[in-house]
Amino acid sequence: MELTQYSAYELSTMVGKGDIYPVDIAAAYLKRIAALDKNIHAFVHCDPEAVLKKAEKIKTGRLRGVPIAIKDNFCVKGQPTTCGSKILKDFRPPYNATVIEKLEQEGAIILGKVNMDEFAFGSSCETSAYGPTHNPWDITRAPGGSSGGSAAAVAARFAPWALGSDTGGSIRQPASLCGVVGLKPTYGRVSRYGLIAFASSLDQIGPLTLDVRDAALLSSVISGYDPKDSTSVNIPVPDYLQLLGENVKGLKIGIPKEYFITGIEDGVKNAVMQAIEVFRKLGAQIEEINLPHTEYAVATYYIVAPSEASSNLARFDGVQYGLRVTKGEKVSDSGLIDMYMKTRGEGFGQEALRRIILGTYSLSSGYYDAYYLKALKVRTKIGEDFKKAFARVDCIMTPTSPTGAFKLGERTDDPLAMYLSDIFTISANLAGIPALSIPCGFTPENLPVGLQILGKPFDEQTLFNAAHAYQQSTNWHRRKPAMAQK
């Protein structure tokens, strides 16, 4: 079997036994990317020579030379880091994000940077300045977003696993649409230092992998307290992989009626209900619960997230790094505002401009109390809904996405339809709780469906255990798109 067909855990085990070498793994993935990525466009930067040199030097570490793809909003020292935007053209950070440092300390090889919606603003990976990424299951369809490049790279077997960021579903939704595993950890569990911010109170870093075992291993490596991140929480991190269990007998699972609504595709609903029935047969206890403020989640998110984005993106002005648009070599004081306007006008794409305007409006004088402050109050209510639910159940199960992968271009002219792609994932970010998406079936069009499992704060282990038990009883995660079988 080709090396690119193994899971990351299997590859690390083989390296540990001396059966293969890191350079062999790297070469296999580089060959595959060179041959097939022209059809998917997952990678935006890959330096084969540097990757192979790194692979030759790997000796130890829990990840033992296993390559990993990195979303293009993580700072990797000396590598292009553009967030899929023209405004960060040619930016190469002088430092690594904390998660990159942890990966390299454990022997991982950075395979390259993968595509994303510009500044993580999107649900289809179509707003990137590099052009769209295609879904490996059907290249006429979107892979989801904003971590579309990460999900597509894993599904196409261009990388055994990848890192993404999740602000409102940007790991889980593409994981669902591409048929892979995606975790958004608890807010504060993984350091955000070196992640270029979208919405600082919502962003979280997590893995996209082929199976739950890989997600548990990678999460153990990247999680933990970091004094460089003021939102990082100093709580011990379990060894998720070693504690991985298969017995869910007696597990109390909540099914919120608010997540099974008009607009969800029949194929998605049927696959999710069948997955829940698997848990029932495994001995779990299933009960219906209420999350009454769910209907306000999208409206709340699209006030809070753009407001924080407008603040975070104010730093991109053409002064210190990235794109600068001027008429001449020097900018006078009188021309400074003109330079700001031209740089931002040409540097930001339409979706980025839309969200900056939305956020600035929500924070402006006279509207702050009416919009932003009210949204914060509703966000608190959403968090309280989950607290009440978790007093009764151990975890909650829902669809990850209301639909399978949609056609490229289908929603680009309808921002509201695009925003509703994340209707089932947004609440977890607002509440700061962990959430995991795993493959659970297919639509009649042979498109992957994701089951979302939500848990109590810092209880990722319950999610891993439940998901692992499901994968031990089913084979959905082993299904591959046709191109991944080559």
**Is residue 150 flagged as an active site residue?**
no
The pLDDT of residue 321: 80
Residue 57 lies in a domain: yes
**Is residue 362 flagged as an active site residue?**
no
Residue 291 lies in a domain: no
The predicted model scores a pTM of 0.96
* Residue 473 structural domain: 3-254+391-485
Q: Which residues contact 472 (CB under 8 A, 6 or more apart)?
A: 246
Mean pLDDT by 10 residues, the chain (486 residues): 94 95 97 97 97 92 96 97 94 97 97 98 96 98 98 98 98 98 98 97 98 98 98 97 92 96 92 98 97 96 95 87 72 72 88 92 85 95 98 98 96 83 95 98 98 98 98 96 81
**Is residue 252 flagged as an active site residue?**
no
Residue 272 lies in a domain: no
CA distances (Å), origin 453, targets 181, 374, 390? 11, 28, 13
The pLDDT of residue 336: 81
Residue among 182, 18, 19 at smallest CA distance from 1: 19
Residue 362 lies in a domain: no
DSSP lists the bridge partners of residue 182 as 208, 437
Angle between helices 98-105 and 212-222 (to 10 degrees): 110
Q: Which residues contact 234 (CB under 8 A, 6 or more apart)?
A: 225
Instruction: Look up the CATH number of the domain holding residue 179.
Output: 3.90.1300.10
Q: How many CB atoms lie within 10 A of CB 316?
A: 25
Tell me how many domains the chain contains.
Answer: 1
The active-site residue, picked from 170, 220, 401, 421, is 170
Residue 357 lies in a domain: no
Cα–Cα dist 473/265, whole Å = 25
The pLDDT of residue 334: 61
Residue 114 lies in a domain: yes
The pLDDT of residue 420: 81
Q: Do residues 188 and 205 make contact, with C-beta atoms less than 8 angstroms apart?
A: no
Q: Do residues 265 and 443 make contact, with C-beta atoms less than 8 angstroms apart?
A: yes
Q: Do residues 154 and 69 make contact, with C-beta atoms less than 8 angstroms apart?
A: yes
Q: Which residues contact 55 (CB under 8 A, 6 or more apart)?
A: 21, 22, 23, 25, 26, 27, 65, 67, 109
Cα–Cα dist 29/34, whole Å = 9
Residue 374 lies in a domain: no
Q: How far is CA 372 from the centre of its chain?
A: 25
Q: Do residues 221 and 241 make contact, with C-beta atoms less than 8 angstroms apart?
A: no
The active-site residue, picked from 146, 165, 220, 232, is 146
Residue 327 lies in a domain: no
**What backbone torsions phi and psi does residue 325 show, to the nearest 5 degrees?**
-110, 115
- What Rg, from alpha-carbon coordinates, does the chain have? 21
The active-site residue, picked from 54, 71, 86, 102, is 71
Q: Tell me the pLDDT tens digit for each residue of 327-342.
A: 655 555 567 888 888 8
The pLDDT of residue 330: 59
